[in-house]
Homo-oligomer: A and B are copies of this chain.
Amino acid sequence: AQLVGADNPGQIGSYNGLAVTPAMGWDNWNAFGCDVSEDLLLGTAQKIVDVGLRDLGYNYVILDDCYSDGRYPNGTIKPNFQKFPNGFKHVSDRLHALGLKYGMYSSAGYLTCGRYTASLGREMTDAQTFADWGVDFLKYDNCYNGGQSGTAQISYTRYKAMSDALNATGRPILYNMCSWGDDGPWNWAQTMANSWRMSGDVYDSFSRPDERCPCTGDEPGYLCALPGFHCSILNIMNKMAKIVSKTQTGAQNDMDALEVGNGGMTDDEYLTHMSMWTLEASQLVMGTDIRSLDPSAYSILANPAVLALNQDPAVSAGARRWIHQVADKDENDAGNIQLWARTMNNTDAVIALVNAGNTLRDMNATLADIFFDQGGVISPQARQGWDIYDLWANRMDNETASSILNGTAPAIISVDDMLNQTTRWNVSMMSYAEGLNANASALFGKMIGSVDALGTVTAKNVSRHGVALYRLRANGKGMSKLDARDEL
Contact = CB atoms under 8 A, between A and B. Distances in A.
Interface residues of A, number: 90
Interface stretch (A5-13, A17-25, A93-101): A5-13
Contact of A225 (B1, B184, B230): B184
A153 B10 CA distance: 30
Given A11-B69, A11-B117, A147 B212 contact: no
Interface stretch (A84-92, A164-172, A213-221): A213-221
Interface string A199-242: 01100100000011011000111111111111000000000011
A150 interface: yes
Contacts of A148: 152-153, 156
B266 A488 contact: yes
Contacts of A415: none
A258 to B, nearest CB: 15
A64 interface: yes
B225 A221 contact: yes
B226 A215 contact: no
A148 B2 CA distance: 17
Contact of A188 (B145, B191, B488): B145
A65 B11 CA distance: 13
A309 B320 CA distance: 39
Contacts of A204: 375
A117 B191 CA distance: 12
A144 B188 contact: yes
B214 A229 contact: no
Contact of A151 (B110, B151, B215, B294): B151
B144 A191 contact: yes
A245 B264 contact: no
Contact of A212 (B115, B150, B319): B319
Contacts of A160: 147
A183 interface: yes
A438 interface: no
Interface in A310-337: 319-320, 323
A146 interface: yes
Interface of A: 1-4, 8-13, 29, 33-34, 64-66, 69-70, 110-117, 141, 143-157, 160, 178, 183-184, 187-188, 190-191, 200-201, 204, 211-212, 214-215, 219-230, 241-245, 263-264, 266-267, 294, 296, 319-320, 323, 373, 375-376, 378, 485-486, 488
29 contacts: A2-B230, A3-B143, A4-B66, A8-B66, A8-B114, A9-B115, A11-B69, A11-B116, A11-B117, A145-B187, A147-B183, A147-B187, A148-B152, A149-B151, A149-B153, A150-B151, A150-B183, A151-B154, A204-B375, A211-B241, A211-B319, A212-B241, A219-B220, A222-B226, A223-B225, A263-B378, A264-B375, A264-B378, A294-B485
Given A149-B152, A222-B226, A226-B243, 20 more contacts: A1-B143, A4-B113, A10-B111, A11-B115, A111-B191, A145-B152, A149-B188, A151-B151, A184-B226, A211-B242, A211-B323, A212-B241, A212-B244, A215-B220, A220-B220, A221-B223, A221-B227, A223-B226, A264-B376, A296-B486
